[in-house]
Amino acid sequence: MPGMDGFQVMEALKEIETEGYLPVLVITAEPGHKLQALEAGAKDFVSKPFDLPEILLRVYNMLEVRLLHMETKKLYDRVVAEQKVSERLLLNVLPHAIAERLKDRNDVMAEKFVEVIADRFDETTVLFADIVDFTKFSEGVSAEVLVSVLDDIFTRFDRIAEECGLEKIKTIGDAYMAAAGLPLPVSDHAARAARMALNIMEEMDRFNEQSHFKLKVRVGINTGAVVAGVIGRHKFLYDLWGDVVNTASRMESHGVAGRIQLTDATRRQLGEPFLLEERGFVEVKGKGEMRTWFLKGVKSAVAAP
């Protein structure tokens, strides 16, 4: 190169190198230049006088290494991209805090869990929402309409759960289950569930107005301790267990269409500003008589005179 020696050319090549591996073959007659050339980034060198077949063979070998490097980089980039997809999928099926505990563990990919993901939460509120008479409704519509309706309704519920700070646990047929106070504990778990229940009722009115259907939901809520954990190897599921879960489900199934029924345990957690109506004692399967309440709404704020 005019005005540049070989070492300056090598330094300039470093600045324009984009693939991470640029093979440079140095031909020199000075023994001391060999070490200097390697330090400058040369991949190989040949002493003068040189043999042309030897140079061609060395160039061929260097190109082979470069191709291997490029293929390795492509494979690495593909693995990174697939890992990001896997992390997004993990976040879609598991709470963020739980996904963070799982995603960096090698035993997840090997399907050999070293640690069981299981926690006990003493203060949580569980919510069940069920579409009333959905089985009868499904008999009169096509499969496409059925799935579209459920997708629309549950997508709305997902948004409400996120806005109110609940964790969606799962859907079971035409029932929707969510919980507040886990996997990260919060002190206002009952209020969060109550707000979600009220928003669900309002959202169902909007859905019916837009779709011209006349669907209603029953909502049941209960408060107390649960055990939560991840089950499954190929398909992960974050689920809850305990009497609180069963009773919340009973609050829904023993409830009234278009209303929100909750236990006395949840009522004691709520207080202001929620409006409650005592339903009285209800015979609950597996529990006997239980005192229950209907959640009617939120008291309107009154401005000070």
Tokens 């690495």 correspond to 76
Sequence letter at residue 103:
K
Beta bridge partners of 293: 262, 278
In DSSP terms, 27 is beta-bridged to 46
Enter the DSSP assignment of 141. Answer: S
Active-site entry in 120, 170, 206, 285: 285
SS3 23: coil
Instruction: Specify whether 112 is catalytic.
Output: no
How far is residue 221's CA from residue 206's CA, in Å, rounded to a whole number? 22
21, 69 Cβ separation under 8 angstroms? yes
Cβ-based neighbours of 67, under 8 Å, separated by 6 or more: none
CA distances from residue 270 to 197, 203, 220, 276 in whole angstroms, order as listed: 13, 22, 15, 9
Length of the chain: 305
Q: Which of 168, 250, 259, 267 is catalytic?
A: 250
The long-range contacts involving 7-12, CB below 8 angstroms and separated by at least 24 positions, are 7/36, 7/37, 7/40, 10/37, 10/40, 10/41, 10/42, 11/40
Known catalytic residue at 250: yes
The identity of residue 152, as a single letter, is D
User: Which positions are annotated as active-site residues?
Assistant: 250, 285
